[in-house]
Structure 1
Amino acid sequence: MSFKNKILICTLLFTLVFGDSKTKDIYNDFFNELVNRKELVAQIKTKLGDSEEAGFALIKMLDAWSKLPSGIMDGNLIDLGSFDECYGIEYNNIYGKYCLGIIQFNPQTEKYFKVFGIASRKPRPRLLLNPEPRLMGLGDDYTGLHFAACVPSTMSAAEIPGLFKYTEDFCYSKATEPELSARAIVTITILAIFLCLVLVSTSYDIALNYFKKEPYHELLIAFSFLHNGRKLFRSSKNSDQLLCLNGIKAMSMMWVITGHEFSNVMFAPLSNFFVLQEWLNDPANMFIMGATVSVDTFFVVGGLVTVYTFLKSMDKGAKFNVLLFYFHRYLRLTPAYFIMALIHLFLLNHFGNGPLWKVVDVELVDSCETGWWSSLLYINNYVQKGTCVPQTWYLQVDMQLFVLSPLILIPLYKWPKIGLSILGFLIIGGCVSPFVIGYVKHINAGMLNNEDTEKFMTYYYAATYARFGPYVIGMLAGYFLYKIKTNKIRIHLKSWHVITLWLVFITGLVACVWAGYPLNVATEEDRWGSSLYLAFNRPAWAVAVVGVIFLCVSGYGTPIDKFLSWSVFQFLTKLSYSMYLVHICVISIRTSLLRNNIKFSSFAILHVFWGDFMITLGLSLILCLTFESPIIIIEKYLFHRSEKTKASKQ
């Protein structure tokens, strides 16, 4: 942004609050509120009294208020004041009450932002641009200045005088601290029971190892951290496994977390908010803005593994039971998900506090209250708003595709030509469906340039009928990989074929990430371009991913295959589901605990990523060992026993 534009913005900043030319009066009112605050002092004195202690409490309250920040021309539109100073005030059963308020810009501010080139397609952080009116009690979606007030807990937000608008939604006080509810106590009890199971089972396992004895029953060590930890850290080199998938899934999960780090920082209190537009306009950053294709990698792998394992099990003489097929899947995913839902619903509010803590309520708690039951039935993306554990929209889509998969699996096994024909038809449908949706609903290519993000999510991004393309491409790949691994199809490629294919697939991966750049920075709707992008970009990504897998499995990518099969990636892949459930919670809590503004830069966010990643890794390890691994052991025992029983009856 040029210096001239910054001066113009600084001059217009206060004028645009009311949309008139009374700049001098607005400046006077604004500085009177920030500096003099005579009316406020008088009101607080009536609440506190005239004693020496009351005077000290008054001084602390005024000191905790926001001050006029520096760097407004760079987008420092929020000052958080001193949350802890205000929150810690206690006098005569009256507590400090911290409130975050806003001066709302006039609607014409949007026009001036575009004129000055700050945000022709500006990012939409939830605090600064209020996409959800309930956050700051506003009915409109305009940028504003956000400042903090500190008043006695007996004063309501509506009583706070001045230009800023305060609501109880963003007020915090010890007087209104949430107490542990009966449901929270039940949740803690459930977690405590599992902790006891872990302690007893692990102690028993340690004793067995010390005395070199076998367990009396395998279920007695089902919750042992020692037993499950050994499995978790043990690497496999089974030739039947597609080991290169480990590296692909592990790196994709890290990419997902990185993308969420950057998307979440746009909701944080930034001291250089206007620099976001420059960052978004830089094509080098498409690595982050195009990271959504990492989810399609999981769709590809999901479809591929479903077909591959199904055909392998049928070769071994297994009988296909649809109900057990569904039950295995539900039991595999739901226990850890259920525990995370309980934590989100009843315990998350007690994990901390801060100026932005109500964001945790809106994003993680409230959405879980409205959507917990449909989320656990994996139908939330069609039944109601508010996904419990918000990133698990993917689980809804993946489970629905899994439920429908027998319609392809059975024909693919019994009548391969029919099954392959169905897959071919679905692959075409996977391109046509998003094109029609994008064109009819006027959906732009990416989230950032969609004015209506809810429409983008509802009709395209979280809709099974718009996202199944990569999954069925993965299913087709799973069929041919099964043929290759069982030597029913042999592939012989010359060196120049191999080099050419690697170049094509790697170029395809890079192209799919950067292809959306012109659409992301476009200032006007490109209906055809966006629809074509939605139709072909994700399927093209899926084809490129499948190509890499084929070359690795066929023995034509030894160095890359060895890297992707690295034991570290095997370990991370085993934790990937737990990491997926945990990481948004970690990122959101860290952001909501902020007491000061942060300066946006790519290096700063990547630095933060590694801290969040390690915390996520540690929590995921606990979640996996406590809820994922034991369920797998219990499930294997139950079904193995039932098979033995059937065999004995025969």
Structure 2
Amino acid sequence: MRTVSVALLLAALVALLSRGPGARAGLAPANGEEAALRDLIGSLSHPDTLLRHVRDARRADPNLNTFGAVDCVGSLVGWGAALVKGEMWALQMVDATSKLITGVLYGNLADLGNFDECVSSGNSEEVGFTGRYALPALDLQTAVPVPAAAQPEARLLQLRRGLLAAAAAHREHQDQGLLLPAAGNATVKYSTLAALRISMCVPSTCQAPVLEAALARAIAVINGPIAGLGFHLQVRLPEKYTTVAGPWRKAAPADYVVITLCVFLILLVVLGTTIDLTLHPEVSLILLANVADKTKRRKAGMLLSFSAYTNGKRLLTIPPPSDTNFTCINGIRFISAMWVIIGHRYNKALEVPFMNLSIMPKRVSDPSAMMIASAPLSVDTFFLVGGMVNCYAFLKTTKGSFNIIMYYVHRYIRLTPAFALMIGITATWIAILGNGPLWHQVVGDASLSCVRNWWSALLYVGNYATPTDQCMMQSWYLMVDMQLHWLSPLLLVPLWKFPRLGLIWGGVLFLLSCLSPFLVTYFYELPAPMSTDINWDAQYVFLKLMYYPTHTRATAYIFGSMVGYVLYKIKTGKLRWRLSSVQVACGWMLSTALCLTVIFGEQPLLDHDSHPYNVWEASFYSGFHRVAWSIGIAWIVLACIQGNGGPVNAFLSWSPFCVMGRLTYGIYLTHAAVQIVDTGLMRSSDYYTDFKMVERMLGDLTIATFLGACLCLTTESPIMAIEKALRSKPARRGKRVQLWYNLNDSVRGNYGVRHVFSDAPERPTAPPDEGKPGEGLDNPSFVPPSPDPSPA
């Protein structure tokens, strides 16, 4: 019943605020209740009405003059005069403003008007101003706790009577501009239920604080009658909700630094590719090897590492399976990346105006939508694979001693350059490359978050230091992954040195990782498996306490590390993997049952209407659903690697997945930028359908794949080759040909767990056994990215 009352109030409010200027021209309002509602406030799209409220606001708050209130009054007078004369620019401003919204009861809570018509209207030289597009938010709030009422039906009746009383009072006093008192709102705490967005086109001289004050006085008349029902309306119009013609901001020095860096990287790629294609590989290597100056040799070799031709060949090379190349993981990574993108695309539905938004709560809890609602599970898939690969590589390559400093530095160098470049682009140029009704609120906010918190991102601590204002909404995964990498020696070293003790210690850590989300959910009474609250404050609490912290996300990573230990034992012959066909069939059935149970088992927890919240149930699911999911995915990985995958392994090892799997890191870094730009460029409300969401996801994937390939060729692959060369042991001068052959081999993508140099002075007939192209276990593309189903 609360939903009905909220919808009724929203519908009434739209009708009140949407009366067009035709009424001012003498058109008779409709009879009865509709006429009373329409006459409550009048049309704020008409300059005369807005002028009156601006003047009242100036008298109440003289400080508004510092925001150009005087100029705003003069411009409104000029606009009204031009409207009487029928001048085209004045009519365009009225035409661009929202009218009566249809389908409010169906969830259409926003009318974006006509953005381009508004900002292009007016003439600063002739009339002194242009059009300013404003999209105020009218927050419908409810008192906490809601005042008691006899029956829900009685509250609806009171609501209707209160609206009519407010309308009658407004008609009585509208000529004098009097306002009704707000019935003690200062002593009541309110929580926002929904926000209604109605666009306005006003003179550019009317700044956001002046418009906000005028709108607040315009709707104050309704707050008195509805306060007793537990409702309250509040206007929000920060500067980012208004737009004038031109870029959002002027170019700053940081913008030129980033664009210079991008141009420099492109020039390096062009130059390296030109050298690579112009000189025969053997000739270039011999010339390089006979350069006496070691510094010049190193610089020339680094330049070759930027060759798009060589790196492109590496990217497109399909290697055969091997002990260090688990081809099934490529398919798992890419499918999980698609799951990430479609999850984020659906998540954007909560941020953009949809005409049928009312179906979303039911849609989220519908069994057919569980594959989408379960998209956060892809995070745990990535953690599982990341933990497994890291442990396996550690045990396979660590001999004698363990250099923990290089263990950390190596990881940081592999992940950070491409990440830092995307942070720079997000903080600078992405914000000034477009415009739209939602541009400042979506793209502008994302850019400012990177301006404020780039440091926490590059230090990989943003999930704790700035959890609700992170630079790049999806970067929380990199931070959790890096923090788990920092902590992983606490488990890996015992597994390496003291296997039995390490297994016991791993079991303890695994149990603690399950108890952590259980206890957090229990003590804070959080929802499970995710928050579907339309209140953003509640969303941020869930994200800060449950979704972002490392201590609540470590379960899959620790389990994956244990799986990596088992896999290492199998590959070294210390543990036998011999399963009968019956055992294999049982394993696949158990894996399938566990994964499907986790996906569809959360449906009752999301259906809040028919399934009341139970803190024990939510806590148990939060603590242990990742255990079941990890077991199911771990079986798929082990069975496919050990030859028990059948058609599943054939599909996951499909050769195109190998190429796309190498791009998952670039796709992860770029796909969110594609989605926020698409949201910022919206010009009108959309209509939600699953087909449209999938269609847009495929568009996101296509663009992100292209951008990810560009990022790979300009930063990721070159940095990998340079870092590999710098870590290689120096060779004697008589063996420079061999040294540069191996360097070129690195450039061409033959990255392995370690770099091997032959003792023979002549070039070998076959490249060293360093692992397959692009498939080394220390390849940063092997570190799978993850999604962020948060509103961030």
Question: Same fold by TM (over 0.5)?
Answer: yes
1:129 alignment counterpart: none
Give the Å deviation of 1:446.
2.8
For 1:28, the equivalent position in structure 2 comes to 39
- The match for 2:705 among 592, 600, 617 is 617
Kindly provide the CA deviation profile for residues 499-525 of structure 1, in whole angstroms up to 9, marking residues without a partner as x: 111111012111111121111113543
Q: What SS does the aligned partner of 2:428 have?
A: helix
Partner of 1:14: 12
Is the alpha carbon distance of 1:318 and 1:607 closer, same or farther for their aligned partners in structure 2, counting shifts above 3 Å? farther
Deviation at 1:616, TM superposition (A): 0.6
| Residue of structure 1 in register with 2:352 after alignment | 268
Structure 1 residue 223: Cα displacement: 1.0
1:207-251 CA-to-partner distances (Å, cap 9, x unmatched) read 135998547353222111111111011111141122111111111
- In the TM superposition, what is the alpha-carbon distance from 1:168 to its structure 2 partner? 2.4
Deviations 1:80-107 (A, max 9, x none): 0100111122413422110001333352
Which SS does the other structure have where 2:137 is aligned?
strand
Paired residue for 2:194, among 119, 132, 143? 143
Deviations 1:304-339 (A, max 9, x none): 00111111113xx47421111111100000001111
CA distance in structure 2 between the aligned counterparts of 1:344 and 1:318, rounded to whole angstroms: 44
Tell me the secondary structure at the aligned position of residue 97 of structure 1. strand
Query: Which structure features the higher share of helix residues?
Result: 1
Is the contact between residue 470 and residue 538 of structure 1 (CA under 8 Å) also seen in structure 2?
yes
The reply on whether 1:355 has 2:465 as its aligned counterpart is: no
- What's the CA shift for 1:156? 2.0
Give distance in 2, aligned partners of 1:220 and 1:157. 51
Q: In structure 2, the residue corresponding to 1:500 is in which secondary structure? A: helix
Q: Partner residue of 1:633?
A: 721
Q: For the structure 1 residues 630 and 110, does the alpha-carbon distance in structure 2 shift closer, same or farther, using more than 3 Å as the test?
A: farther
Equivalent in 64, 76, 83 of residue 115 of structure 2: 83
Does 1:171 find its partner at 2:242?
yes
Residue-by-residue CA offset, 1:163-185 (whole Å, 9 max, x unaligned) = 47444230001267411001111
Q: Tell me, yes or no, if the aligned pair for 1:16 and 1:109 is still in contact at 8 Å.
A: no
Query: How far apart, in 1, do the equivalents of 2:559 and 2:731 lie?
Result: 34
- Which of 273, 278, 289 does residue 373 from structure 2 map onto? 289
Write the deviation string for residues 576-615 of structure 1: whole angstroms up to 9, x where unpaired: 1111111111111101110011001111111111111101
1:180 aligns with 2:180: no
Q: Distance in 2 between matches of 1:458 and 1:8?
A: 29
Opposite residue 196 of structure 1, the aligned amino acid is L
User: Which stretch shows the higher mean deviation, 172-181 or 552-561?
Assistant: 172-181
After superposition, residues 28-177 of structure 1 pair within 5 angstroms as: 28-29=39-40, 32-33=43-44, 38-40=48-50, 44-47=75-78, 55-93=87-125, 94-107=129-142, 141-160=192-211, 163=218, 165=235, 166-174=237-245, 177=248
Q: Could you tell me which residue of structure 2 aligns to residue 230 of structure 1?
A: 313
514-523 or 182-191, larger mean C-alpha shift: 514-523
Tell me the amino acid that sits aligned with residue 396 of structure 1. M
1:598 paired residue among 686, 701, 705 = 686
- CA displacement 1:356-400 (0-9 Å, x = unmatched): 012225641232233211211111222234221111111111111
- Cα pair 1:296 1:538 within 8 Å, conserved: yes
Question: 1:395 is aligned with what amino acid?
Answer: L
Deviation at 1:569, TM superposition (A): 1.1
- Tell whether the 8 Å contact from 1:47 to 1:152 is kept in structure 2 after alignment: no
Give ranges in structure 1 of 5+ residues lacking alignment. Answer: 117-137
Q: Which residues of 2 match residues 257-406 of structure 1 at below 5 A?
A: 257-314=341-398, 317=399, 319-361=401-443, 363-385=445-467, 386-406=469-489
* Residue in structure 1 matched with residue 765 of structure 2 by the alignment: none
Q: CA deviation at 1:17?
A: 10
Q: Which amino acid aligns with 2:630?
A: A
Distance (Å, rounded) in 2 between the aligned partners of 1:233 and 1:318: 36
What amino acid sits opposite 2:567 in the alignment? L
Letter in 2 for 1:556: N
**Partner residue of 1:459 out of 545, 556, 560:** 545
Aligned AA (2:462): N
The residue identity in structure 1 corresponding to 2:338 is: M
The structure-2 alpha-carbon separation of the partners of 1:32 and 1:50, relative to structure 1 and needing over 3 Å to count, comes to closer
* Contact 1:48-1:54 within 8 A present in 2 as well: no
Q: 2:637 aligns with which of 531, 539, 549?
A: 549
Range 229-238 or range 253-262, more displaced: 229-238
159-168 or 500-509, which moves further after superposition?
A: 159-168
SS at match of 1:95: strand
Task: List aligned pairs for 1:489-508, cutoff 5 A.
Answer: 489-508=575-594
User: 1:135 maps to which residue?
Assistant: none
Q: Which residue of 2 aligns with 1:122?
A: none
Name whichever of 352-361 and 211-220 sits farther off. 211-220
The alpha-carbon distance between structure 1 residues 636 and 647, as it changes in their structure 2 partners (threshold 3 A), is closer
Deviates more, 1:153-162 or 1:384-393: 153-162
Count of matched residue pairs: 619
Code of the aligned partner of 1:486: T
Letter in 1 for 2:439: W
Structure 1 counterpart of 2:301: 218
Tell me the equivalent position of 1:582: 670
Secondary structure, counterpart of 1:445 in structure 2: coil
SS, match of residue 495 in structure 2: helix
RMSD, aligned α-carbons = 3.2
Aligned equivalent of 1:410: 493
Q: Within 1, Cα distance between the matches of 2:347 and 2:205?
A: 37
After TM superposition, the structure 1 stretch with the greater mean CA deviation from structure 2, 217-226 or 561-570, is 217-226
Asked if 2 retains the 8 angstrom alpha-carbon contact of 1:355 and 1:592, the reply is yes
Deviations 1:602-638 (A, max 9, x none): 1111111111110111111101111100000000100
Which stretch shows the higher mean deviation, 441-450 or 262-271? Answer: 441-450
Task: Determine if contact 2:142/2:190 at 8 Å carries over to the other structure.
Answer: no
The one-letter code matched in structure 2 to 1:274 is S
Structure with bigger gyration radius: 2
Whole-angstrom distance in 2 between the partners of 1:11 and 1:306: 56
- Ranges of 4+ aligned residues in structure 1 off by more than 6 Å: 5-8, 15-18, 51-54, 108-112, 643-648
Contact 2:666 2:712 in 1 (8 A): yes
* 2:737 equivalent in structure 1: none
| Distance change (3 Å), C-alpha of 1:644 and 1:541 | farther
Q: Are the equivalent residues in 2 in contact too, given 1:16–1:108 (CA < 8 A)? A: no
Partner of 1:443: 526
- The one-letter code matched in structure 2 to 1:281 is S
Conserved in 2, the CA contact under 8 Å of 1:222 and 1:630?
yes
Q: CA deviation at 1:443?
A: 1.4
Aligned 8 A contact 1:17 1:104 in 2 = no
**Secondary structure of 1:107 counterpart:** strand
> Structure 1 residues 435, 529: closer, same or farther in 2, change over 3 A?
same
Tell me the amino acid that sits aligned with residue 461 of structure 1: Y
| CA deviations over 1:506-549 (Å, ceiling 9, x no partner) | 12111111121111113543100000001110121111111111
Distance 1:299 1:631, change over 3 A: same
Unaligned runs of 5+ in 2: 17-31, 53-72, 154-188, 220-234, 289-299, 734-754, 758-792
Superposed displacement of residue 204, structure 1:
1.5
SS at match of 1:141: strand
Report the residue type matching 2:491 in the other structure: I
Distance 1:30 1:102, change over 3 A: farther
Instruction: Tell me: CA distance 1:438–1:29, structure 2 relative to 1, closer, same or farther (3 Å).
Output: same
Deviations 1:392-440 (A, max 9, x none): 1111111111111112212211211111111111111121121111111
Contact 2:526 2:618 in 1 (8 A): yes
Superposed displacement of residue 110, structure 1: 11
Distance 2:94 2:416 in 1: 50
Q: Hey, what's the Cα distance between the residues in 2 that align with 1:178 and 1:371?
A: 19
In 2, Cα distance between equivalents of 1:271 and 1:110: 30
